[in-house]
Amino acid sequence: MSRAASAILALALALAVFFVDQGFKRLIEVSMRLGESTPLIPQVLRLTHTRNEGGAFGILGGQSGVLLLGSAVAVAFVLWILLKATPTRATTSGCGLILGGAAGNLLDRLSAGEVTDFLDLEFWPLQQWPVFNAADVAIVLGAAILLLDSFRSEKASRRSAEGDRQDQEPSADGG
């Protein structure tokens, strides 16, 4: 895949994630009162309308400047990966998911100073997991894809280096 095709696909995925995330957030905001909760999948997942002025899990609440700067740095880093790394499906997918999720939460922070969260896990051991949103899911999934791909790439590089060393060693029969 060419670098240009990879960038276009990643941006298309980012836009799709962004619009899905924003659509769900607006739907929750107009159909549920703040604090309202309703089962989506009984004993597994609830829709719970909350607002979060902090980052992931509510950390850095009230530190909007730090959160905005962190978001900008993260987006710049992901764009750098997208433009510098060897274009693969994993890199394209991971970067697109992260960019779309980051853009969705960033828009909320810039427009309202907080994000709308609505996905609430209720099965053990995640009963006490903080409420999150579609953008958060995309960011975590994208990061996991990039991380797994980096491990796979590192393993392939080691195998290639070991193969090169074996090719350079003289054979036992003197050849």
Torsion 66-68-69-71 (CA) sign: positive
The active-site residue out of 21, 136, 167, 173 is 136
What is the pairing mode between strands 37-41 and 45-52? Answer: antiparallel
**Rg (alpha carbons) of the chain, rounded to whole number:** 21
Residue whose tokens read 């950390």? 59
Contact 101, 137 (CB under 8 A): yes
Residue 130 tokens, joined: 């903080």
Would residue 120 show up in a list of annotated catalytic residues for this protein? Answer: no
Return contacts of 24-32, CB within 8 angstroms, 24+ apart: 24/118, 24/133, 24/134, 25/104, 25/108, 25/115, 25/116, 25/118, 25/133, 25/134, 28/116, 28/118, 29/116, 32/118
Would residue 149 show up in a list of annotated catalytic residues for this protein? Answer: no
The active-site residue out of 21, 117, 120, 149 is 117
Active-site residues: which are they?
Answer: 117, 136
